[in-house]
A and B are shown apart, each in its own frame.
Chain A
Amino acid sequence: MNSITKISLLAFLGLVTFSCSDKPELFTNPDTEKAGISFQNTLTPTEDMNILDYLYFYNGGGLAIGDINNDGLPDIYFSGNQVKNQLYLNKGNLQFEDITETAGVAGKSDWNTGAVMGDVNGDGFLDIYVCAVVGLNGLDGYNELFINNGDGTFTESAAKYGLDLDTFSSSAAFLDYDLDGDLDIYILNHAVHTQSSFGKADLRHERNPQTGDRLMRNDGDRFTDVSEQAGIYGGINSYGLGIAVSDFNLDGYPDLYIGNDFHEDDYYYINNGDGTFTEDLKNHFGHTSRFSMGSDVADLNHDGWPDLISLDMLPQDENVLKSTEGDDNIQTQRLRTDRYGYHYQFTRNMLFINRDGGDYQETALLSGVAATDWSWSALFGDYNQDMQQDLFISNGIPKRPNDLDYIKFVSSDQIQNKINNTALIDQKALEQMPDGVTRNYVYEGSEDLQFKDQSETWIAQDTLVSGATAYADLDDDGDLDLVTNNINTSPTLYINQTNDKATYLKLYLKTPTQNDFALGAKVYAYANGVQQFKELYPVRGFQASSEPVIHFGFGNQKKVDSIRIIWPDRSTQLLKDIATNETLHVKQENTSPFNYATLRPKQQLIFKSVTDSLGLDFVHREDAYSDFDREKLIPYLVGDRGPAVAQGDLNGDGKTDLFFGGSKYIASKIYLQGDSTFVKTDFPGIQNDSINEEVTAVIADFNNDGKNDLMTGTAGGDFYNKARPLLDVLYLNEGDSFIASALPELFENTSVLAVYDYDNDGDLDVFAGSQSVTASFGKLPSSYLLENDKGTFRVAQEFKELGMVTAAVWDDFDGDGKADLIAVGEWMAPTFLKNEGTKLKIVSKTKDGLEGLWQSIIPFDIDGDGDIDYVVGNWGENSKFQASAESPMKMYYSDFDNNGQTETIVATAKDGNYYPLMGLDALASQVVSLRKKYQSYRDFAGQNIEEILSEEQLKNSKILNVNTLKTGYLQNNGNSFDFVPLPRDLQVAPVMAFCLFDFDGDGNDEVLAGGNYFGVQPFHGRLDSFTGALIESDSNITSGEKLGLNFAGKSIRDLSVIHLNGKAYLIATPNNEKIQLYQLKR
């Protein structure tokens, strides 16, 4: 671990030494012309062929790199949309020769797209497959297959092999899906029509010959279309732009991730190993990119599982972000998912971390790669050779068709009626559309999955439109160079200058089969205790294939301990003690069979799912009320915080019973424990209050009559003023029935009821925390200390300024023998309230600046030093919210338009200025005057909050802050507490529930954490990636999926352990879902 830090440090220092000039530090761009490359993908819009006639007019050409003459130097093939394709022979020293004519590879199609290389006939020479769009507006041609004759010439043989498709192809990928030792091909097609209505998702089951993807099986001298029998979708709505091949579930068979543009879901095809695939996206991905473009796969976190990035088109630059069309609103989103059957999709890049082949953890926002504008190709590679995968993303579009000013103001005047009448758009109208030229991005990877934007230092700031990208070691110096195929300019060569600053290994693999380049081979490198894992699939990125080479960087290591190769035929070979800075040509020999079962994760399952048993069939249903309909600018919902879960003996039989709260108009449920199961039992005195939304509850004997009573805390965000359902209720146990007894009339959205006899008078008192004021989010609600006098409660103390409390716990933090209170909440810091016997007094126990969006707290000696620390669940760092002590997130709260209704505007810092998260349309829908202030989106874009709001509006605003979004713990240092963040896995989503128990039966208690939250605007995506975690100590935390828990995609609100017949069970209660029940395997 340390050594890696050291290596990166060294690598970093190494880089610094040559950063003194203005030249980019990692990649230089030699003059393409001087390198002998004259190719240029020139686009000429005509009346019959432009962005209106063909929606992918600007998707660019293809690019394939590979050594076509086996001289050790990778050669480059460019395909052009309207121009002829060209092949360049690498002559060494970065000199290239155009051999298109003699090679005979210029191609005949009118519109070429992706180009890929692969040895189709297994003769040891790379062949070239070029895709085409055919049949649209008279475009002629077919997908062409150039078979390499081995003498510098090629013979176009697509028809002979049955690959002369005349469809709307984007790209293709070679893979041996049936492991029969030859290369099959997946052909990615795209629809060209515009769907005006979404249409149902099951349209994908009906095959359309022009637009549907094809899987073609290599049967020796011919390819057979096996799409249908293999289970490949071929619908009218597939806008296939991205394709990634990888053995995602590590069973030895290649799987596929297909990225579809627009509302069609991406496809995740799991290879069943019997010639068929199962599309299983929804079971593995919580959400995906919406306008999916290119993608790439690599093991980023050294766990041996392939991770995935899928690109979209979200801009980073405020000026672009706020002047282009963003995500759909929530209602449209709901329509698409609930009514039409599509999956959750959001407009941004998605980084999917493979969790043992199960659920993917999506962390693009946390990892810093969510927004790279109009992005085409992603290529992972260890470009600086520090053992971490870096990321290159190509970008740009000649015309930006989603510019809001263009859509709303410019287009109408220009295009009026032309579309319908003549299907033509003037050149003039197109000229009005702003360009979308953006620089390419390069990110430096790190082992903790943080990507650092190095675009300004590693590469030159280009003003090009770059699409298809491929890597290769063009100058044979051991590091990875890059080539981009650009629109209307020469291609760009990115020549890597890592050179001898860090070590590498290059591997070229050879099998004795027809798949002689060993596509699908897995290579593991072990050096200095670090595993690196690569798969050989040259088709990656977008419309391109890279050099078929496995490349590793090793920092300053001189030697690699071992290299393990798993060949496509499931045999393996181990190489030991290899010197770095070598190119290895490895032949498949001396192999032994490989057992893929050894790659299965070693799970220490301590939870066994027994959901649907024990008579516990509770399903929580959230009501349809959405706070966003009423308060359109608030940062997240407040009406979805239930359900309450409480346990205790309600019928005096000594067994623990269960209470689950309901949402508005849905009754709560009570389950009484019987001999072997729970029995749902109605208590009209309680369940008749179905209008109440119970979000917290306690079962305890409040009137000291020896029988347990039930107290419920109600909320829901919908009821306001003095609406009765806002009143918390005490249901007194009358033996057979429960009768509501009056509590002080406190009309609050209660969040927590924490019970303790603080005044030591022998009865249970209650801290009632409140989370928000209905219809006035941002206003601080009052929380209360209720003193119990023989079952009658009075307000002993009101806390007007405590904040938006979400959770509280009684615990003796000062060791005086009396439990004190610690309250946490949103836009507030964890607050320590000392129990002074008669009242609570806020005391300072932490450093300032811990305002967060805290959701949960539990006392636990996490560092094992004998005193109690507090684990505190926060929002996490995987959303558009960003906060730090230096740049806190701010929420401006005021009645900005003086109409009697308050609004909130959340702003986060970008380069020292604060920008609202929401765009002009959203803000102006509430603060109408902004429409007058900003008559175009361009005027608004780039404006910071102090410019957007008037001086008076700013002056009248109350500002609430968040300084940290990290989940962590408050470490007990005797008299004070220091906040210590927990590792990355606990920062991927809000942590909303804790439970203390000895889950693994080792004699020590652990804390189990659950979370996730979906009540956010679509630009956040869905905070669904937290799989739960078992916290044994600050250094021993295990992810839930490794323990048998299935929390991904669920918003867990309560974790409780119950005992039945001497066995312990975990109940995990999500919002708006069925509860989960696990038996503890102790």
Chain B
Amino acid sequence: MFKYLFLIFSSALLLSSCAKDTPLEVTPDDYNNAVDKVTEVIIHDIFSPPVASRIYAYSNIAAYEVLAQNHPEYSSLAGKLNGLGETPKAENPAVNHDVAALIAQMEMAKSLIFSEDRITEVRDSLYKTWEDQNADELEASKAYGLQVADHIKNWMDGDMYKQTRTMPKFSVNADNPSRWQPTPPAYMDGIEPHWMKIRTFVLDSASQFKPVPPPAFSMDEGSEFHKQLMEVYDVRNEMTEKGDDSEEAAIAKFWDCNPYVSTHKGHLMFATKKITPGGHWIGIVKIATKKNNADLMETVYVYTKTSIALFDGFISCWDEKYRSNLIRPETLINQYIDDSWTPVLQTPPFPEYSSGHSVVSGAAAEVLTEIYGDDFQFDDDTETAYGLPVRSFNSFRAASSEAALSRLYGGIHYRAAIDEGLKQGRQVGQYIVSNLHMKNDGEALSHSGN
């Protein structure tokens, strides 16, 4: 990907060497590339899914806020997202809003990730190109882009992220058999136990769409909980019989979206790193906007609204996770049924209920459905970079349903977490659909689709 980007820039460089002061141009693909870069750094730096959703959201919002100033059919998010004040307007007429938007996105991304070099490298190469083309326009756009980024940062500063870093670790209560415990092989601490304290964008509160409680914990045969536990166990066994090529296995692996799968071989340890569930939906945004031949404004709009849904979805989900604090199937199956049982996917390090992928997929799919309709066929090649095949879907909701179900096949969630999680996510998404209006003429976009 990076090579490809580099090629574009170098050819741009060649072209620009003879032409002075050409207007700068930012294509939708330039923006896609910048988002891909963010995804790449998120993977490298190993951000957990909730934290990754925050990186996507604030960087896209910054770009959106710049562009919306220049597109009367779109409105600023000021006053619409909790705590976001008026975005400064560009005073210098030389400002190119497209350029400023990309700069704002990169600046936000840089401040949100760890490996800054990986962003600044790309940024500086863009700056160089732009400078050669039109230094004045760059200067003005840069100043404005950074100004908006500053504005967003100041707002972001109040979202409790910083405070939650030093809040208490999640303490495991091993005496209560229903409570979550760290899982093999890395036995990591429960991640982000205070994520529900992060300020939401659109939701009133983290608990606004609190799902019904999970089935009451019981290891009695015949209890609902025990039935659902045995379903996880049985599904895994059936899959083993069917072999690696089963559809269930394909679904489980396709939607794994575990940013850090740790493999132990004796003293040797490896990480297999992938995109997060949010990252997967960000990838779907790219596929959808490209398919719709979206312009830059539309592209950024769809990224932004989807990442807002993902962000609030994670907060809603994490609120429930550390409320119900439910034990993972792997722990129980190892303890009561089969001590050598392993799930198809590695169990991620946080409580079981509700399923994060189900919630955020549900939320993202609602927003995308609102924009592009319920009848949107797409070929999802988001995971090909990780050695996984392309899967095709007839709608965003179909994709989200499959993503949710993948957790059962993966052996990491009970049925209730999937069903209720999807419901919870759809409620989050629908709430955003009804309450966050970003386009003045209605949110739906005609799509060139099928």
Q: Roughly how many angstroms separate A897 CA and B262 CA in the complex, as a whole number?
A: 30
Chain B, residues 142-182, CB within 8 Å of chain A (1/0): the string is: 00000000000000000000110111111111100000011
Chain A, residues 164-204, CB within 8 Å of chain B (1/0): the string is: 00000000000000000000000000000010111110000
- Asked if residues A925 and B165 are in contact (CB atoms below 8 Å), the reply is yes
A636 contacts partner chain B, Cβ-Cβ < 8 Å: no
Contact among A291, A897, A932 for B114, CB-based, below 8 A: A932
Q: Roughly how many angstroms separate A412 CA and B44 CA in the complex, as a whole number?
A: 9
A903 contacts partner chain B, Cβ-Cβ < 8 Å: yes
Residues of A within 8 A of B173 (CB): 624
Residues of B within 8 A of A935 (CB): 114-115, 117
Q: Which partner residue on chain A sits nearest B172 by CB separation?
A: A331
- Asked if residues B166 and A197 are in contact (CB atoms below 8 Å), the reply is no
CB within 8 Å for A194 and B182 given contacts A409-B44, A899-B165, A925-B165 = no
A164 to chain B, nearest CB (A): 27
CB within 8 Å for A401 and B339 given contacts A335-B182, A408-B46 = no
B187 contacts partner chain A, Cβ-Cβ < 8 Å: yes
Q: Roughly how many angstroms separate A416 CA and B284 CA in the complex, as a whole number?
A: 22
Q: Roughly how many angstroms separate A419 CA and B185 CA in the complex, as a whole number?
A: 16
- Asked if residues B387 and A416 are in contact (CB atoms below 8 Å), the reply is yes
CB within 8 Å for A332 and B182 given contacts A416-B387, A926-B166 = yes
Residues of B within 8 A of A415 (CB): 270, 272
- Asked if residues B269 and A55 are in contact (CB atoms below 8 Å), the reply is no
B189 contacts partner chain A, Cβ-Cβ < 8 Å: yes
B386 contacts partner chain A, Cβ-Cβ < 8 Å: yes
A338 contacts partner chain B, Cβ-Cβ < 8 Å: yes
The segment from A357-365, A612-620, A625-633, A661-669 found at the interface with B is A625-633
B266 contacts partner chain A, Cβ-Cβ < 8 Å: yes
Residues of A within 8 A of B89 (CB): none
Residues of A within 8 A of B271 (CB): 407-408, 411-412
Contact among B163, B170, B184, B339 for A901, CB-based, below 8 A: B163
B20 contacts partner chain A, Cβ-Cβ < 8 Å: no
A1061 contacts partner chain B, Cβ-Cβ < 8 Å: no
Residues of A within 8 A of B166 (CB): 632, 897, 899, 901, 903, 926
A900 contacts partner chain B, Cβ-Cβ < 8 Å: yes
Q: Which partner residue on chain A sits nearest B165 by CB separation?
A: A928
A325 contacts partner chain B, Cβ-Cβ < 8 Å: yes
- Asked if residues B162 and A325 are in contact (CB atoms below 8 Å), the reply is no
B268 contacts partner chain A, Cβ-Cβ < 8 Å: yes
Within 8 A of A (CB), among B230-284: 262-273
Q: Roughly how many angstroms separate A407 CA and B262 CA in the complex, as a whole number?
A: 9
- Asked if residues B269 and A897 are in contact (CB atoms below 8 Å), the reply is no
B25 contacts partner chain A, Cβ-Cβ < 8 Å: no
A421 contacts partner chain B, Cβ-Cβ < 8 Å: yes
- Asked if residues B273 and A52 are in contact (CB atoms below 8 Å), the reply is no
Residues of A within 8 A of B117 (CB): 935
Q: Which partner residue on chain B sits nearest A900 by CB separation?
A: B163
Contact among A291, A402, A632 for B269, CB-based, below 8 A: A402
Q: Roughly how many angstroms separate A417 CA and B330 CA in the complex, as a whole number?
A: 23
Residues of A within 8 A of B386 (CB): 416-417
B20 to chain A, nearest CB (A): 38
- Asked if residues B267 and A55 are in contact (CB atoms below 8 Å), the reply is yes
A328 contacts partner chain B, Cβ-Cβ < 8 Å: yes
Residues of B within 8 A of A331 (CB): 171-172, 182, 187, 189
A339 contacts partner chain B, Cβ-Cβ < 8 Å: yes
A222 contacts partner chain B, Cβ-Cβ < 8 Å: no
Q: Roughly how many angstroms separate A900 CA and B163 CA in the complex, as a whole number?
A: 8
A51 contacts partner chain B, Cβ-Cβ < 8 Å: yes
CB within 8 Å for A335 and B270 given contacts A197-B334, A421-B387 = no
- Asked if residues B270 and A628 are in contact (CB atoms below 8 Å), the reply is no
B282 to chain A, nearest CB (A): 19
Residues of A within 8 A of B340 (CB): 199
- Asked if residues A197 and B182 are in contact (CB atoms below 8 Å), the reply is no
CB within 8 Å for A419 and B270 given contacts A198-B184, A335-B187 = yes
- Asked if residues B171 and A624 are in contact (CB atoms below 8 Å), the reply is yes
- Asked if residues A199 and B163 are in contact (CB atoms below 8 Å), the reply is no
- Asked if residues A932 and B264 are in contact (CB atoms below 8 Å), the reply is no
Residues of A within 8 A of B44 (CB): 409
B116 contacts partner chain A, Cβ-Cβ < 8 Å: yes
Chain A, residues 892-920, CB within 8 Å of chain B (1/0): the string is: 00000101110100000000000000000
Q: Which partner residue on chain B sits nearest A433 by CB separation?
A: B268
CB within 8 Å for A899 and B269 given contacts A196-B342, A197-B184, A632-B169 = no
- Asked if residues A51 and B268 are in contact (CB atoms below 8 Å), the reply is yes
A5 contacts partner chain B, Cβ-Cβ < 8 Å: no
Residues of B within 8 A of A419 (CB): 263, 265, 270, 272
Residues of A within 8 A of B272 (CB): 412, 415-417, 419
Q: Roughly how many angstroms separate A419 CA and B268 CA in the complex, as a whole number?
A: 12
Q: Roughly how many angstroms separate A624 CA and B169 CA in the complex, as a whole number?
A: 13
Residues of B within 8 A of A417 (CB): 272, 386-387
- Asked if residues A626 and B270 are in contact (CB atoms below 8 Å), the reply is no
A195 to chain B, nearest CB (A): 8
Chain B, residues 364-389, CB within 8 Å of chain A (1/0): the string is: 00000000000000000000001100
CB within 8 Å for A411 and B270 given contacts A331-B189, A339-B174, A901-B163 = yes
Q: Roughly how many angstroms separate A901 CA and B164 CA in the complex, as a whole number?
A: 10
- Asked if residues B185 and A401 are in contact (CB atoms below 8 Å), the reply is no
- Asked if residues A329 and B189 are in contact (CB atoms below 8 Å), the reply is yes
Residues of A within 8 A of B342 (CB): 196-197
Residues of A within 8 A of B45 (CB): 931
Residues of A within 8 A of B330 (CB): 197
Within 8 A of B (CB), among A16-62: 51-52, 55-56
13 contacts between A and B (CB under 8 A): A331-B187, A334-B172, A339-B174, A407-B271, A408-B46, A416-B272, A417-B386, A419-B265, A629-B171, A632-B169, A899-B165, A900-B163, A901-B163
Listed from nearest, the 6 A-B pairs whose CB atoms lie closest are A55-B266, A197-B184, A401-B268, A412-B273, A629-B169, A901-B166
Apart from A194-B264, A335-B182, list 10 A-B contacts with CB within 8 A.
A52-B268, A56-B266, A200-B339, A334-B174, A335-B187, A408-B46, A411-B271, A629-B170, A632-B166, A931-B45
- B residues at A contact (CB < 8 Å): 43-46, 114-117, 162-163, 165-174, 181-185, 187, 189, 262-273, 330, 334, 339-340, 342, 386-387
- A residues at B contact (CB < 8 Å): 51-52, 55-56, 194, 196-200, 291, 325, 328-329, 331-332, 334-335, 338-339, 401-402, 407-409, 411-412, 415-417, 419, 421, 624-626, 628-630, 632, 897, 899-901, 903, 925-926, 928, 931-932, 935
